[in-house]
Amino acid sequence: MRTGLTPESKDKRRRKIVATQILKPTTENIVKCANTLKAGGLVAFPTETVYALGAVATDAAAVEKVYAVKSRPHDKPLIVAVSNVSEIDGVAVNIPDKARTLMKKFMPGALTLLLDRADCIPDIVTAGARTVAVRIPDNAIALKLLEIVGKPIVVPSANTSDKPSPTLADHVLTDLDGKIDYILDGGASEIGIESTIIDTRVGPPLILRGGGISADRITAEIGEVEFKREKPIMSSAYSPNAEVLFSAYYDGMAANICAKYDALTARGNKTVIICLASNISAYGNRNVFIAGSSYEDYAHNLFALLRRADAEHYDTVIAEGVRSEGIGASIINRLVRASGGLII
């Protein structure tokens, strides 16, 4: 007997997501994901900074779902991605010359511009603000997806709010399994921390969030910039379940970290130290996660190591500090926030 609809196709009509599928980034799968996005679905995909949770930016109902699955507060606006510089004129207006200079130099790349928003961007994307934050990801899979969809896509990090941003497809699955349609697996995100966000509409331009492109590189193009002051009490962010402690950078930092580690382990606390390879000998046979040999490596590995601490059931992570130079400033920003200011 035919009933017209199989249970499976009924499920499809309701768009009920039972399990989220991880897909290899073949052309066929990218097209499949583009069709899902065009139909109002959610797809996570790699970018060079961290994995993004995409929805078509002009589809308010789809964007609403992004807030829901991330448990994101509605007053925190979303970044919009496009596939090339000329499309920025479709989502923003009154674009300053300094923004154009930065576009030429850093787009595609880990830079997000805060601009006056065009009418096609719904309120839900910008949390009601008259501005829109725009970027072009420097990742072939992301660019291909954007080109096929042919519309701007919101690109928040594909994690549950307050958790470390995902730098692998598996991290996305840990947080969002059963809540989104697909994850395109592009391997590890190259940079590992999010884009730098800058407002060039004001003088001097204001860096709202340090990230993958350092302030020095921006200053070399457009002159002096200022950093937005962080509020003294910061909301939690980038936080694994483990408690995160963070050391300031100074000579003798390792001795202080060892003393803290020993006090914690004496209390039965399972603790691990995140350090650069060059410092490992200072920690003897204590548990360490090596973040690599450069600040770029540290940025690339940081979020993955915070998630690894949870997977391996550590109670506490003590992260080494770095100098505030180049991408070091962005590492410090993420560590201060992950630790909620618990600096040793």
112 binds ligand TXA (CB under 6 A): yes
Shortest Å, Cβ 169 to Mg ion = 17
Could you say which residues in the range 17-56 bind ligand TXA, by CB under 6 A? 47, 49-50, 52
176 in Cβ contact with 160 (< 8 Å): yes
Q: In what order do the strands lie in the sheet with 243-246?
A: 243-246, 316-319, 271-275, 288-290
Residue 196, binding choice from Mg ion, ligand TXA, none, Cβ under 5 to 8 Å by partner class: none
Is residue 77 reached through a cis peptide bond, with omega within 30 degrees of 0 on the bond before it?
no
49 binds Mg ion (CB under 5 A): no
Using alpha carbons, select from 136, 131, 195, 156 the residue that is nearest to residue 42.
156
- Return the bridge partners of 274, or none: 289, 319
Q: Which of 25, 77, 96, 164 binds ligand TXA (CB under 6 A)?
A: 77
Shortest Å, Cβ 72 to ligand TXA = 8
- Return the bridge partners of 47, or none: none
157 binds ligand TXA (CB under 6 A): yes
Q: Which of 66, 132, 198, 322 binds ligand TXA (CB under 6 A)?
A: 132
Residue listed under structure tokens 């909301």: 235
Compare residues 115 and 154 and give the one whose CB is closer to Mg ion: 154
CA 260-299-211 angle, to 5 degrees, is 115
Q: Distances in Å between the alpha carbon of 135 and those of 45, 84, 111?
A: 15, 9, 6
Shortest Å, Cβ 70 to ligand TXA = 8
Compare residues 110 and 309 and give the one whose CB is closer to ligand TXA: 110
Q: Which of 36, 47, 83, 157 binds Mg ion (CB under 5 A)?
A: 157
Residue 115, binding choice from ligand TXA, Mg ion, none, Cβ under 5 to 8 Å by partner class: none
92 binds ligand TXA (CB under 6 A): no
Q: Side-chain half-sphere of 167: how many Cα atoms within 13 Å?
A: 23
The stretch near Mg ion (CB under 5 A) out of 74-82, 111-119, 153-161, 278-286 is 153-161
Angle at which helix 295-311 crosses helix 328-338, to 10 degrees, equals 20
DSSP helix/strand/coil, 160: coil
Compare residues 209 and 260 and give the one whose CB is closer to ligand TXA: 209
153 in Cβ contact with 56 (< 8 Å): yes
Shortest Å, Cβ 235 to Mg ion = 12
Q: Which of 78, 82, 124, 149 binds ligand TXA (CB under 6 A)?
A: 78
Q: Which of 58, 101, 131, 294 binds ligand TXA (CB under 6 A)?
A: 131
81 in Cβ contact with 157 (< 8 Å): no
Nearest residue relative to Mg ion (C-beta): 157
3-state helix, strand, coil in the chain (%, to 5): 35, 20, 45
Burial (0-12, 13-18, 19+ Cβ within 10 Å), 46? buried
The stretch near ligand TXA (CB under 6 A) out of 5-13, 77-85, 175-183, 334-342 is 77-85
Compare residues 108 and 211 and give the one whose CB is closer to Mg ion: 211
The stretch near ligand TXA (CB under 6 A) out of 169-177, 189-197, 216-224, 326-334 is 189-197
Q: Which of 197, 306, 317, 322 binds ligand TXA (CB under 6 A)?
A: 197
Alpha carbon dihedral 79, 85, 88, 90, in 10-degree steps, equals: -140
The stretch near Mg ion (CB under 5 A) out of 115-123, 151-159, 181-189, 288-296 is 151-159
Q: CB neighbours of 167 closer than 8 A, spacing ≥ 6?
A: 50, 51, 188, 189, 192, 300, 303, 304
Residues that bind Mg ion (CB under 5 A): 157
Residues that bind ligand TXA (CB under 6 A): 47, 49-50, 52, 76-79, 112, 114, 126, 129, 131-133, 155-157, 194-195, 197, 208-209
